[in-house]
Amino acid sequence: MGTFTGIPLWILLVILGSLNAINVAHNGKVCSSWGNFHFKNFDGDVFYFPGTCNYVYSSHCKSTYEDFNIQIRRSVVNNVPVIEKITMKIDELVVQIDSSSVQVNGEVVQLPYGCSGVQIEKNGVYLKVSSKLGLVFMWNEDESLLLELDQKYANQTCGLCGDYSSISINNELISDANVTVFRPSSFYIVVETTLGVQIVAQLIPFMQVYVILDPSFKTKTCGLCGNFNDKQTDDFQTINGVIEGTAASFANTWKTQASCPNVKNVYENPCSLSVENEKYAQHWCGLIADPSGPFVACHSQVNAEIYTQNCMFDTCNCEKTEDCMCAALSSYVHACAAKGIIFTGWRSNVCSKYMNTCPKTLNYTYSVTTCQPTCRSLSEPDVTCNVKFVPVDGCTCTKGYYMDDSGKCVPAAACPCYYRGSAVPSGEVVHDNGIQCTCTQGKLSCIGSPVPACSAPMVYFDCKNSSYGTRGAECQKSCQTLDMECYSTKCVSGCVCPQGLVSDGEGKCIAEDQCPCIHNDATYQPGEKVKIKCNTWYV
């Protein structure tokens, strides 16, 4: 089937051809997935994720009641990815769809089908599920699907389709209680975990990955990075525990796909194949070990010969010789930075072109040691500023400027403010709980006194006084959400129940075993009888 700008043609035809037919959520946003594991989320980000497990495609996660939860599972058939199963919880219905049948609450149904505001029908090349809640879902019964949501779900979704925040680029910061991901500069991404694992990914000129482990992981690791026991003689240990003598025979045992061909050992020196490439590599890679070169201050801390040899091999073996050479040099610079030796000015005569790739509102910096200044950080605490990492280089905002959600560096006067996860344009006023706040210089300036909002036994939880990773009021359990997993992007201040109690939905806190049962919006206390049609149930 044809494609247009990376999106399947059938999806475009469905959108264009059914604008009149779809009136439930035609003003909403669309998330789609197609082809070889491609995704485009609500905010326009396109990404590739080759997962074959069961995943939450999108869910209504930031509310006390979950309106919907859509999950998908892909499989690979004859080397082609297809969508194997779709599970949709829409209000009180559970819809399961695969290539052979449609089930509602465990019963196979015939199409078209309608119940409780949900309509399921087959229309031409696709199967369509629509709900009065403001949801339209379409599947071509093969490898492509589409979800359209009403605007009311903005900033309330989780899953592969994203948070529906209308921010068309990846957020500079993604954080929950376990993982924080951010970009200290345009050249690097840092992944910090509470487990004692930090991953630093270098993006320019080529992808390079550094993994930093807490000492508690010593002797507890395996794989290509070795067993972390401070002994270099046994690092080529295979998945079966055998110590091999060559890199290829060792690494081939750590494949995750058996169909992937084995790699053979290469003993040939790629520099011997081209005199021109060899001279180029010797000249530039020789800078690493040059006793009078720019990196001499690090020679006593990091072995320059090993990095020179790797630089020679990569440069001679690479089609883009300059990029590979610069990647090798920057690898040595990063290793030196980890030892506390920071080089500035080393790009003045080599690899200088990357300094000129910064967008107009950003400047190149040799040593970035802390979080990127963002507009969001003016309004709320920036958890990335608590993360320690090896100094990196790259493009950042100049002093006095802050990065907005579009990736541009702007003065504080042009920054929006952020209130409960939503952007408030500069100069606009927000009224809430007896307080009037005006967005000025990226911060909310408020007047008035707040109306007491927490009724006993609820207490106010202030995120400003909490520890890193705390979730706050956003994850307050209620009788309606006892079994729901809370997806929290940040700590939210607000009223919470004392520890050990849950909200009953009416402003009170009770023990979990005192929660009533809920059916058709009616509550039933433990011991009550519930009559549904011809059946009588005991709560």
* % the chain with pLDDT above 70: 86
Q: How confident is the model at residue 21, as a pLDDT?
A: 35
**CATH ID of 459-524, from 1.10.3470, 1.10.1060, 3.30.1370, 2.10.25:** 2.10.25
| Confidence label for 421 from pLDDT (cuts 50, 70 and 90) | low
| Confidence label for 54 from pLDDT (cuts 50, 70 and 90) | confident
375's tokens: 């507009």
pLDDT tops 90 at residue 274: no
Q: How confident is the model at residue 167, as a pLDDT?
A: 54
| Confidence label for 137 from pLDDT (cuts 50, 70 and 90) | very high
In tens, the pLDDT along 203-253 reads 888 889 999 999 998 888 988 999 898 888 888 888 888 888 888 888 888
Q: What is the mean pLDDT of residues 263-280?
A: 87
How many CA atoms lie less than 13 Å away from 30 in the CB half-sphere?
16
In tens, the pLDDT along 187-207 reads 998 988 888 889 999 988 888
Planar angle of CA 283, 284, 289, nearest 5 degrees = 90
Q: How far apart are CA 407 and CA 367, in angstroms?
A: 20
Compute CA 519 distance to the chain's CA centroid, rounded to the nearest angstrom: 36
Q: How confident is the model at residue 415, as a pLDDT?
A: 92
In tens, the pLDDT along 373-403 reads 888 888 887 778 888 999 999 999 988 899 8
Specify which of 6-20, 75-89, 311-325, 453-467 reaches the highest per-range mean pLDDT.
Answer: 311-325
Q: How confident is the model at residue 298, as a pLDDT?
A: 96
| Confidence label for 283 from pLDDT (cuts 50, 70 and 90) | very high
In tens, the pLDDT along 442-500 reads 998 888 766 556 778 888 887 766 766 677 787 888 887 777 766 665 677 788 888 88
What are the structural domain ranges in the chain? 3-158, 270-356, 417-447, 459-524
Q: How far apart are CA 327 and CA 314, in angstroms?
A: 9
Residue with structure tokens 């300094």?
355
| Confidence label for 536 from pLDDT (cuts 50, 70 and 90) | low
pLDDT tops 50 at residue 7: no
Listed residue (177, 172, 147) closest to 160, CA to CA: 147
Cβ–Cβ < 8 Å for 41, 161: yes
pLDDT tops 90 at residue 530: no
Q: What CA dihedral angle connects 30, 35, 37 and 42, to 10 degrees?
A: -10
In tens, the pLDDT along 73-107 reads 888 887 778 888 899 998 888 999 988 889 998 88
Give 312's contacts (C-beta < 8 A, 6+ positions apart): 271, 278, 281, 282, 285
In tens, the pLDDT along 326-360 reads 999 999 999 999 999 999 999 998 999 999 888 88
